Structure formats: structure tokens, C-alpha cells
Homo-oligomer: A and B are copies of this chain.
Amino acid sequence: MGLTPSLERLASHFASLPSIGRKSAVRLAYHVLSMDEKDVQAFADSLVEAKKNTRLCTVCQCFSETEICPRCGDPGRDASVLMCVEDHRSLEAIEALHEFRGQYHVLHGVLSPMDGIGPEQLKIKELLARLDGNVKEVIIATNPSVEGEATAMYLGRLLKPLGVKVTRLAYGLPVGGILEFADDTTLLKAIEGRTEV
């Protein structure tokens, strides 16, 4: 027989999440039974509320609970530099460095014609709307993948004629890596991008 109907429903919801397999999902469902009823209710409420309260910041398109996110509303950040990222994970990784003090723009993906993702599916219109003359530089920080690269080239061609400086994160050897183990493309890019010492 197996799980009771309501445990089965719960387990299949867990299993629909990324990187949670059937066995883990069943274990999580059993774990929920061992939780206090009020904690289960709080978990359920947090699901619904996270979905309900979260919208996109009208400026940078990051997830926000307010119309304009705290970062975009922060006058201490330099609005003349926009760091253009694929998604929130990239944004958080850069933000965690505590070094970049400009503003962000979240594209919500990269160009991928195979998956039917063209410029209209990304937040490019919203990016163009921000280029009001105050923005001096757009740093393109898409992932170093084929799609990330294609998106960077597309944005470069689109933005340069507007008189804004467009830069791309540097390719090269990862710090602490071993030259011998670097892949060919990375090594070539490191030679191409060599800097004077």
C-alpha cells in the first residue's frame, strides 16, 4: 500500500521541487508529521506569503516586497554603473563581496533561441528605459556560458550606439587554480586578456 493519501500528496509536492528525489520527498513528508502543528502552519503560510508578497522591483527587476527595492532606493549607491546579471543567484554572489556599490539590473534569463527565449522574454526593455543619460557604464555579468556570452554580445551591440560604456567581466585563470589544469578556452582568454605588471 505505501503512504496514506495525504502523505502521498505532500511527498509528491516535495518531489516536484528541484534536486529532491522521491526518497528524500518521503522522508521530508514523514518529518513534517513530527513537527509541531503550529510550525507546519507557519511553513505553509510562509509558502503562500512569499509567493503573494514578492514582486519585481520596477527599476532593477529584482525580487522585492516594495515597488522599488531597498537597493534601488539607496542614495548611497552609485546609479551611474549598472551591473547586469542573469538571475538572483548571480546578484547575491556579487553583493556578498561587499565591493560593488553601483546598481543592478536582473535580466531574468539569457538569450536561448532553442528554448524559445528571445530578447522580449528578458528584462531588456526595462534596461533600456534606465539609460537616461545618467548611466555611464553597463557591466555585463552574465555567466561564462555560450548563452551568457551571446547575451553579452547582443547587449553590447544594442547599448554601445546609445553612448554608454559597455564592459564584460574578465575571463582568465581562477585565482588559486593551476595553469596546467585550466581548459584551453580559459587559457586562451587569459593570454588574450593579459595585463601589464
Contacts and interface: CB of A to CB of B under 8 A. Distances in A.
B92 A50 contact: no
Interface in A25-60: 26-33, 35, 37, 39-54
Contacts of A17: 28, 31
A13 B42 contact: yes
Chain A contact residues: helix, strand, loop or mixed: helix
A33 B71 CA distance: 20
Q: How many copies make up the complex?
A: 2
Interface stretch (A4-12, A134-142, A159-167, A170-178): A4-12
A40 B65 CA distance: 18
Interface of A: 1-2, 4-7, 9-10, 13, 16-19, 24, 26-33, 35, 37, 39-54, 63-65, 70-71, 88-89, 92, 95
